[in-house]
Amino acid sequence: MAHPRKRRSAAAVRRTAKRPAAKGQGTLHSAAQNSAAQTSESQCLTLEIDNLTSDAQGVARRGRDVYFVPGALPGETVEVLLDGRRKKVWQTRLRQVLTPSDQRRDAGCPHYRQCGGCDMQHMSSEAQLEAKQQRSQREFQRQGIAVEQWLEPIVGEPWHYRRKARLGVRFSKAEQRNYIGFREAASSHISDIDHCPVLVQHPVLDWAAWRELISGLQGRDAISQIEVIAADNALALVLRQLKPLSAQDQQQLCDFVARYQQDAQPLQLWLKDEHHSQCIFPQHPPAPLWHEVQGLRLNMALDDFIQVNARVNQAMVAQALAWLQVTENDCIWDLFAGHGNFSMPLARLSQQVLAVEVQPDMVASIQRQAEKLALPLLAKQADLSEAGCLQALPEPQAVLLDPPRAGAAQVCEELIRRQVPRIVYVSCDVATLARDLASLTAAGYTVVKAGIMDMFPQTHHVETMVLLQYKSKNRHG
């Protein structure tokens, strides 16, 4: 839960944007420092932290009062400033750590505490993983979900793993310069960064250089975002423009990118508005972006959702295929199929794979690629939040679903009605996953296996996979 933030003047916003990032243990969130200096009525308390919330805030208790402390760890004694009470919980700001935990470490990014992109860098990798494991198990227990076997977590590299990210760009008229970075924690303000250690590595991802470049353009106020898309065959940079850039500005951008061009990882520069996207570097038509999954090259459109952690994604897909135990004659549904991350590899194991996705352009892309690769896959367009959206599909022997954060409540009703023998459910929100599992287990399913996947190191977000089997003696067919 984020603490409420007071509206600040333009001058205060500029001071926050210019402040250097806080370093070392026991420091305040940089935005909170400014607020604390202006809020003399804030009460200072010493607290003992005994737990973590689902979004990695420390939890302390005094009598009937509960306190949330961002940046604190279990076992620590901390000094905090009270920042208001909401729903019987005190929101606080960490002032200093008096007794640090053995699990505390120095953050690996100089912008930590100011940038809102990560919230767990003050924890060791082992502590992060343990917190995520406990969170998944806690959510399951709240819903009464029994798991026959918890597997070892799937992990990857803790840094430089993120292959897709969107940075904000803001032009300050008062200062006549641009800010480039991610939003501050609990704020819409953009926090200036120079480099991001969770992004893939490439010399062109020097945001201080980009800041200087954009601040010198005629259309310096016309760029609102920079998106990074690291495919296996190229690194694409997509600039969102609010109005068309001049030919001179476009040439400056191209000249800048050309300085960083590498044969090993070619660069692409795109301009995008509400209606279309245009590649301005290189000048000749660029090669389609792709990434490899299970030996298959899957095309990536600029707007496609992809799992941001390539190494964890490879292991995740391999585990899902192993759990499903697909045979050649099985009918398999891949629901919320995206661009075919699971369904393409599944189509090498089964002669009847149905990939269901709501976005028509992604459905068309899946079908084109399947035909090109000669895979027995049929892509279908359907809104999986609507009742009856799957009624026309043939009976499946196994289903894989990877829904958005809202979960798959409507889909679960259809799976229960069909009494599908095997289900692999991949989730990026363990709370909605546990809710859906409660419905499935109440209807005769058993959670045979479960495991977390550390798709987003340095953040509290966790990916979870479960295998369900239908074990009712009354199953038809």
The CATH number of residue 96's host domain is 2.40.50.140
Residues in the chain predicted with pLDDT less than 70, given as ranges, are 1-42, 186, 472-477
Q: What residues pair up with 59 in beta bridges, in sequence order? A: 51, 68
CA atoms within 13 A of residue 138's CA, in its CB half-sphere: 11
∠ CA 86-92-96, rounded to 5°: 170
Going 357 to 361 to 365 to 367, the CA torsion angle's sign is: positive
The reply to whether 336 sits in an annotated binding site is yes
The answer on 446 and 333 residing in a single domain is: yes
The model's pTM? 0.87
The reply to whether 149 sits in an annotated binding site is no
The CATH number of whichever domain residue 239 belongs to comes to 2.40.50.1070
The answer on 31 and 85 residing in a single domain is: yes
In a domain, residue 31? The reply is yes
The answer on 260 and 320 residing in a single domain is: no
Q: Could you give the C-alpha distances from 333 to 15, 319, 355, in angstroms and in order?
A: 53, 17, 6
Instruction: Write the secondary structure of 344-363 as one string of H (helix), E (strand) and C (coil).
Output: HHHCCCCCEEEEEECCHHHH
Containing 464, the helix (H) or strand (E) segment is strand 463-470
The reply to whether 307 sits in an annotated binding site is yes
CA 271 to chain centre: 24
In a domain, residue 355? The reply is yes
pLDDT for the residue numbered 138? 95
In a domain, residue 376? The reply is yes
The answer on 168 and 151 residing in a single domain is: no
pLDDT for the residue numbered 472? 64
Those residues with Cβ within 8 angstroms of residue 118's Cβ, 6 or more apart along the chain or in another chain: 109, 112, 198, 458, 459
How far apart (Å, rounded) are the C-alpha atoms in residues 89 and 159?
Answer: 34
Q: Identify the domain containing residue 279 by its residue range.
A: 164-290
The answer on 241 and 335 residing in a single domain is: no
Q: For the beta carbon of residue 41, count every other beta carbon within 10 angstroms.
A: 5
The CATH number of whichever domain residue 411 belongs to comes to 3.40.50.150
428 is catalytic: yes
In a domain, residue 20? The reply is yes
How far apart (Å, rounded) are the C-alpha atoms in residues 315 and 326?
Answer: 17
pLDDT for the residue numbered 90? 95
With beta carbons less than 8 A apart as the criterion, state whether 219 and 248 touch.
Answer: no
Number of separate domains in the chain: 3
Q: What residues pair up with 271 in beta bridges, in sequence order? A: 239, 278
Selecting among 118, 389, 412, 428, the annotated active-site residue is: 428
In a domain, residue 117? The reply is no
pLDDT for the residue numbered 439? 97
Residue type at 372? Answer: K
pLDDT for the residue numbered 264? 78
- DSSP letter at 332 equals E
- Residue 450 phi, psi dihedral angles, 5° rounding: -150, 150
Residue at token pair 């499935």: 440
In a domain, residue 414? The reply is yes
The reply to whether 357 sits in an annotated binding site is yes
The answer on 17 and 76 residing in a single domain is: yes
The answer on 97 and 17 residing in a single domain is: yes
Those residues with Cβ within 8 angstroms of residue 296's Cβ, 6 or more apart along the chain or in another chain: 344, 345, 348, 373
